[in-house]
Amino acid sequence: MQHTGRVEKSTGSWYLVRYGEEQITCRLRGKMRLLDENSIPVTNPVAVGDFVEFEINEDGTGSIFEVKERKNAILRQATHGRRGIQILAANVDYGIAVQSVRQPALKEGFIDRFLVACEAYDVNPVILINKMDLAKTKDLDKVQELKDLYEKLGYPIITGSIDDSEFQASIKTLLKDATSVFIGPSGVGKSSLLNALDPDISQKTGEISTFSNKGKHTTTYAELFRLSFGGYIVDTPGIREFGLVGFKAEEIGHFFPEISTVLGNCKFYNCTHHHEPGCAVKEAVENEEISERRFKSYLNMLDTV
C-alpha cells in the first residue's frame, strides 16, 4: 500500500518521512531523476520539505518511489567540487536569510544572492539580523542603511538579539502557521534562535572559532521541525557562500526589483547592464535611482554565471 508523507530529514542516503504521528526511515527505490528541467545535475533528488509517495517494507522501513510536484524550492550551486544544483528546502512559505551583525560579520553579498534565488523560485524572502547586542555605533549605522534599502524594495528585515522578547515575538508571528527555512552561515545563531523560540526543538549549538571568527558547524543535516505554536521550520547546516546556478546573464536583472522596473528602457533587449551603450539601468544608477551598492552586487553575480 502506498502512503503520502513529508520528508523531515535527509542525510543523502536515507530520509525521515513524517506519516501521521510516525516518522518512517526511508530510502529511495531504484534510481530517481538526477537532472532538473534544464538538464542540470541535482545532488539531492529528494529534499527536506518534499511530499513523497512511499511504501512500507516488511522490516518497517519505507521505500520512496515518487516526489510530488513542488510548489517551490530554494536552490544553490552545489559545493565541494560537485557540479550542479543542491536543493536546500522545498515547499516553503518563507525563506529567511539569517545573518549576525558580528561574530561572524554580516555578508551583504550573501543576502543579495539569497534574494535573487527567492525571487527566481517563488519564495517569500525575509532578512533576519541577529546579535544586535554586539553592535557598535558603525554597525548600527550600517544596519539602518540596510533596513532603509531593503524595506524600500519590499523585503522585510527583522533585527534584534536572542534574549530580546520583542525580537522573538516578531519571528514567532512570521513563523506561525507557515513553513519556513533558516539559511545562513555557521555561527549566526540559527539553532540558538530555534531553541529560544521553541525549547522543545533542542538543537545542538556551538561556539564561534576564536581563530577564524567563523562559526563551527553544529547542524549536520537539514531538518524540518514542527513548532509548538503552529507551523514548521527547516534548520539547515551553515553555508558560507550562496552560489547561483541555472541563470543566464541577461536574466539576473529581472530578479532585482529596482532593476527590473527600468531594464525595458535599455537600447538592447538582451542588455546585461555592464558595457552596453544606451543602458537605462546604468543611467538610473548614475541618477541615484538604483543603489550603487546593489548594482555592484548585481555585477558580481554577473561575473559568476
Domain boundaries, the chain: 2-69, 87-235, 252-304
**226-244 pLDDT, tens per residue?**
999 999 999 998 888 888 8
- pLDDT reported for residue 208: 38
Instruction: Check whether 3 has a pLDDT greater than 70.
Output: yes
Fold match between domain 2-69 and domain 252-304: no
| Per-residue pLDDT, 212 | 35
Whether 36 has a pLDDT exceeding 60, the answer reads: no
What's residue 44's pLDDT?
86
DSSP strands (E only) in 114-270: 124-130, 157-159, 179-183, 223-226, 232-235
Residue 200: band (very low, low, confident or very high) from pLDDT cuts 50, 70, 90? confident
pTM for the model stands at 0.90
* pLDDT attached to residue 207: 44
Q: Which CATH superfamily is domain 252-304 in?
A: Probable gtpase engc; domain 3 (1.10.40.50)
CATH code for residues 2-69: 2.40.50.140
Q: What is the pLDDT of residues 81-131, one digit of tens each?
A: 667 888 999 999 999 999 999 999 999 999 999 999 999 999 999 999 999
Q: Report the pLDDT value the prediction gives residue 11, as an integer from 0 to 100.
A: 85
Q: Are residues 16 and 32 in contact, defined by beta-carbon separation less than 8 angstroms?
A: no
| CB-CB neighbours of 108 under 10 Å | 16
* Phi/psi at 142 (5° precision): -65, -45
Topology, domain 87-235: Rossmann fold (3.40.50)
What is the four-CA torsion angle of 181, 184, 185, 190, rounded to 10 degrees? -50
Name the pLDDT band for 43 (thresholds 50, 70, 90).
confident
d(CA 285, CA 292): 6
- Residue among 224, 229, 231, 293 at smallest CA distance from 258: 293
Question: Please, what is the average pLDDT of the chain?
Answer: 89
Q: Is the pLDDT of residue 255 over 70?
A: yes
Q: What is the pLDDT of residue 293?
A: 97
pLDDT at 210: 34
